[in-house]
């Protein structure tokens, strides 16, 4: 349950009441000095108040307590950029992208850092066009967005952000083949960014070119071997193609990098259930529920697996919510 101070603070942040929100988060932090939500939220408010030094202290502590929350690294990258420490800012943006490979914000931050580093005469013009293009895109003014991104490419033909955005826009405008051309260029311009491969796979799936989509996910995995989204997305597609064993092998490769990832574990257990390996599946569901006991969807699958193993004792012991609410029928 979210503490009332946190809830009030978030409401005030949504209204840009940064000073008031800061006080609420500080009250929450006083109750629990290791409250990572409060620490992160304090940093957000301080950042908007332009108190970058204090914000950095707070976000450093939040990251110390939780090193797997991508937005914390992204926020610290913003702060370090304002403080002029571009090396650390770039490192944190890359870490945010590792934790969340589909993060558009992290990709934009890396692009911004690259622009700041650039001493070429076109750097400022590129930045202006990119920002205008993104604004038009967010306002659904697609034609104007395309013009701005094309201007970027006249100045920097390998600009990832422009190529990626044009690919997305081409697909939205009903030109999937044009989208594939631009997104392929984007993945070649910066192979380390999984976002380009994901968008490319999406277009291929729309065209029912599933093997090409698999190749796109493989590209993401090759250049981002710790990208769990790439493994999971590839496995889901393989499952839909009725290639269940390769799907399971893909998930195992992902789990080799992060054995405790709940999403990947859940997908593996689901596949094992389809293989009628209910004992192995129930073991994984049990491990997930030990971490997050009230995942109702997982609880239902866990009960299903145990029922198929005729494990009535463990069913009643480990699925008390369903037993108490429904009873045995």
- pLDDT score, position 327: 41
What is the C-alpha separation between 50 and 172, in angstroms, rounded? 37
What is the C-alpha separation between 108 and 102, in angstroms, rounded? 12
Residue partners of 327: CB distance under 8 A and separation at least 6: none
With contact defined as beta carbons under 8 Å apart, do 305 and 285 qualify? yes
Tally of CA atoms within 13 A in the half-sphere of 110 that contains its CB: 21
What is the C-alpha separation between 269 and 280, in angstroms, rounded? 7
The torsion region of residue 242 among left (phi > 0), alpha (psi -120 to 50) and beta comes to left
Answer yes or no: pTM beyond 0.85: no
Structure tokens at 160: 């990832």
Chain segment 272-309, per-residue pLDDT in tens: 888 888 888 888 888 887 777 666 667 667 666 766 66
Q: For residue 142, which of 166, 177, 175 has the smallest C-alpha distance?
A: 166
Chain segment 129-173, per-residue pLDDT in tens: 887 888 888 888 999 999 999 999 998 899 988 999 999 999 999
Regions of the chain where pLDDT drops below 70:
1, 118-121, 123-124, 293-297, 299-300, 302-304, 306-329
């Amino acid at each position: 349950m979210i503490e009332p101070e946190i809830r009030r603070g978030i409401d005030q942040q949504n209204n840009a009441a940064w000073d008031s929100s800061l006080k609420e988060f500080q009250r929450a932090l006083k109750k629990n000095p290791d409250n990572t939500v409060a620490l992160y939220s304090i940093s957000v408010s301080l950042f908007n108040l332009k108190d970058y030094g204090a914000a950095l202290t707070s976000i450093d502590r939040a990251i110390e307590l939780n090193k797997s929350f991508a937005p914390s690294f992204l926020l610290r990258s913003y702060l370090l950029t304002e403080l002029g420490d571009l090396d650390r800012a770039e490192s944190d943006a890359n870490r945010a992208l590792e934790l969340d490979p589909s993060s558009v914000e992290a990709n934009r931050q890396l692009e911004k850092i690259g622009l700041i580093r650039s001493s070429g005469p076109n750097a400022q013009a590129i930045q202006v066009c990119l920002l205008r293009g993104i604004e038009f895109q967010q306002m659904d003014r697609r034609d104007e967005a395309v013009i701005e991104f094309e201007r970027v490419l006249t100045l920097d033909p390998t600009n990832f952000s422009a190529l990626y955005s044009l690919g997305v826009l081409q697909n939205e405008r009903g030109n999937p083949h044009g989208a594939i051309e631009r997104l392929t260029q984007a993945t070649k311009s910066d192979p380390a960014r999984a976002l380009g491969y994901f968008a490319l796979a999406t277009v291929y799936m729309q065209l029912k070119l599933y093997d090409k989509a698999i190749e796109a996910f493989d590209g993401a995995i090759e250049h981002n071997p710790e990208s769990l989204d790439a493994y999971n997305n590839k496995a889901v597609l393989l499952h839909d193609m009725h290639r269940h064993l390769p799907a399971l092998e893909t998930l195992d490769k992902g789990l080799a990098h992060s054995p405790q990832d709940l999403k990947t574990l859940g997908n593996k257990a689901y596949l094992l259930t389809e293989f009628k390996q209910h004992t192995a599946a129930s073991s994984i569901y049990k491990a997930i529920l030990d971490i997050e006991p009230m995942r109702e969807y997982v609880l239902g699958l866990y009960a299903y697996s145990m029922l198929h193993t005729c494990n009535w004792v463990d069913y009643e012991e480990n699925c008390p919510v369903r037993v108490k609410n429904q009873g045995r029928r």
